[in-house]
Amino acid sequence: MPASSFPRSLALPVSRRRLTQALALLSLPALALSTARPARAALPQGSHAAMVAFDGLYIPALFLTGAAPKSDEGPARAGAAMQRLQQAWPQQRLALQALAPSARPWREALAAVDRHLARATAEVGQRRWEASHETLERVRETLFEARRALGIDYALDDFTAFHGAMEAIANRSVVPPAQREALERDYARARALWRRIERLELDPARWGLSPARQAQLRQGLADEDRALARLSQALAAGAPESALLQAGAALKGPFVKAYTAFGWPAGETPALAG
């Protein structure tokens, strides 16, 4: 199957004033800094596969610890995912270390991951699901920051960057009139980061994407694009607070669907090309 291309942005009906505001927002230096991609670093053979293999086990543990309290089988599934991740970590750490063995930021990042995984394992054992999920979030953030600092280009870091911008919108509980412009700025930043994801081309063989997870990814991306479009339309129409909150909260589900497509289900260990 050829490399998958992500759907293009939907054309959104906006007023001239809103369009002018959006263009101005996209020109802000802070936005340029937050979405700038560093110079690429040359990596040893097998580096990409090492990162994909880690995320293949990490993502299920991250997702399932967050979902554990929501179903009767949730705790057992989360515990199994955490055990699988922790058992594979020593070997995966060696593979990840080979990306940049002499780089101090990378060594420090992996040491931090050691601590986060040990802590999350203990929290899972205590059934502290929210705490374990938050600890695992730090793993993603730690590796994201280290790769960006070293110029290591990795597509899932674009998802991580968008995740932060998306949650700034989705987690809002109020949008009083005085905060509407702030929400518009948050939307502009999220949309700019989403466009980067739309431009990605991912080879399913290099990313270990099964046909089922390819379909899940495509659906999640399409749904997220539509959710962003609905939020844009609500902002442009001057929608009431309740409609804005609903449109913002609707960003989370499709993103989770897309991101978790990169996780490997129990019993699945794809052979990675390249």
At residue 36, does pLDDT exceed 90?
A: no
At residue 224, the pLDDT reads 98
CA 62 to chain centre: 11
Instruction: Quote the tokens at residue 224.
Output: 């997220």
> What are the tens digits of pLDDT across the range 206-244?
999 999 999 999 999 999 999 999 999 999 999 999 999
> What are the tens digits of pLDDT across the range 80-109?
999 999 999 999 999 999 999 999 999 999
Domain ranges of the chain: 1-36+154-274, 44-153
How would DSSP label each residue in 16-70? HHHHHHHHHHHT-HHHHHHHPPPPPPP--TTHHHHHHHHHHHHHHHHHHHHHGGG
Q: Which CATH class is domain 1-36+154-274?
A: mainly alpha
pTM for the whole structure: 0.84
Instruction: Look at residues 101, 225, 181, 88 and name the one whose alpha carbon lies nearest to residue 217.
Output: 225
Its CATH architecture, for the domain 44-153, is Up-down Bundle (1.20)
Q: Whole-angstrom Cα distance, residue 147 to residue 24?
A: 30
Instruction: Quote the tokens at residue 263.
Output: 């996780």
Q: Which of helix, strand or coil describes residue 153?
A: coil
Q: Whole-angstrom Cα distance, residue 257 to residue 108?
A: 31
